[in-house]
Chain A
């Protein structure tokens, strides 16, 4: 059984959704990790969940990125540990410098809460290897600041390294302006670091991992991660 650590900041609100999906849907061990903790060496994967950490004060994710736990998460990621940031978690990861760029206000200025389609661009990451390149996933978004922005140099690098993992697309997988809900550069919905062990994405796979939620496409992301973590042998011996 794998052990997932779910980081909780004041204002996180998707932590319980992640916990439910990992523990009750996928049958692995999940623990909440308060942002003041610093020892995360015992976990097989760290999830930074969605929400409104610190009320989105100053910039989304900015205050949370300076929490004591984020220094540990940074070291954990450098050592090859699996880290996934979802929605506000993605915003925290860019503010912490674990991923490039920034998430700015949606081009429409509106909070967007709806199902979107994502085209899988890279299946060579810890989180996507059970899928095929070009697969289309239906996953919900819920954010006011999901408009991915980065410098022209960073964008070039992201694209040439295959770090763009998911792009907003039509149900048929066409990457069009109409399919882009928030104005993100190149329809970017999710990116990884160069090594492929840190993923940040605005859509919520934890909200669609069982049929009762109206869709279960998110499950493939967690299942890819789980098979990879088993293979990597990072699994701790059960007591």
Chain B
């Protein structure tokens, strides 16, 4: 059994309006950061997972994302897996 650190980024789909991102964008512009073109806000979820292989972890975490961690109607997710050294 190995230990893995899993980072899951959950982002609103591009077609979903993100009023929070828009407000943050406006605030950045108010601070003078005119170079900022867009801002979108998502979530970062970190898991520690004990399993046999990266492939197995990927399969299970994808399932977790579809069942609970993201809402496929409005969100996309990206999974990043790192094996921890014993």
A contact residues vs B (CB 8 Å cutoff): 58-59, 62, 66, 94-95, 100-102, 104-109, 149-151, 183
B68 close to A109 (CB less than 8 A)? no
A104, A106, A109 — which one has the most chain B CB atoms within 10 A of its CB? A104
A105 close to B19 (CB less than 8 A)? yes
Smallest beta-carbon distance A147→chain B, Å: 8
Query: In the complex, which residues of chain B have a beta carbon less than 8 angstroms from the beta carbon of A183?
Result: 17, 19
Q: Which of chain B's residues 30-85 have a Cβ closer than 8 Å to chain A?
A: 68-69, 71, 73-74
Among B17, B19, B69, B74, point to the contact of A58 (Cβ < 8 A): B69
A149 close to B23 (CB less than 8 A)? no
A109 close to B71 (CB less than 8 A)? no
Check B1 for interface membership: any CB of A closer than 8 A.
no
A59, A66, A94, A183 — which one has the most chain B CB atoms within 10 A of its CB? A59
- The complex places the Cα of A62 from the Cα of B43 at a distance, in Å, of 15
Q: List 11 A-B contacts (CB under 8 A).
A: A59-B71, A62-B71, A95-B71, A101-B73, A102-B71, A105-B20, A107-B17, A109-B19, A109-B23, A149-B73, A150-B73
B19 close to A149 (CB less than 8 A)? no
Among B19, B68, B74, point to the contact of A107 (Cβ < 8 A): B19
Residue of B nearest to A110 (CB): B19
Smallest beta-carbon distance B69→chain A, Å: 7
- The complex places the Cα of A94 from the Cα of B74 at a distance, in Å, of 12
- The complex places the Cα of A94 from the Cα of B73 at a distance, in Å, of 10
Check B16 for interface membership: any CB of A closer than 8 A.
yes
Query: In the complex, which residues of chain A have a beta carbon less than 8 angstroms from the beta carbon of B20?
Result: 105, 109
A94, A102, A183 — which one has the most chain B CB atoms within 10 A of its CB? A102
B contact residues, total (Cβ < 8 Å): 10
B74 close to A149 (CB less than 8 A)? yes
Residue of A nearest to B67 (CB): A66
A108 close to B73 (CB less than 8 A)? no
Smallest beta-carbon distance A156→chain B, Å: 15
B17, B20, B23 — which one has the most chain A CB atoms within 10 A of its CB? B17
Smallest beta-carbon distance A159→chain B, Å: 17
Smallest beta-carbon distance A63→chain B, Å: 8
Residue of A nearest to B12 (CB): A104
B68 close to A104 (CB less than 8 A)? no
- The complex places the Cα of A108 from the Cα of B19 at a distance, in Å, of 7
- The complex places the Cα of A22 from the Cα of B19 at a distance, in Å, of 37
Among B19, B68, B71, B73, point to the contact of A66 (Cβ < 8 A): B68
- The complex places the Cα of A149 from the Cα of B19 at a distance, in Å, of 13
Residue of B nearest to A100 (CB): B73
Query: In the complex, which residues of chain A have a beta carbon less than 8 angstroms from the beta carbon of B68?
Result: 58, 62, 66
- The complex places the Cα of A100 from the Cα of B69 at a distance, in Å, of 18
Query: In the complex, which residues of chain B have a beta carbon less than 8 angstroms from the beta carbon of A105?
Result: 19-20
Say whether, besides A58-B68, A62-B68, A109-B23, A102 and B73 are in contact (CB < 8 Å): yes
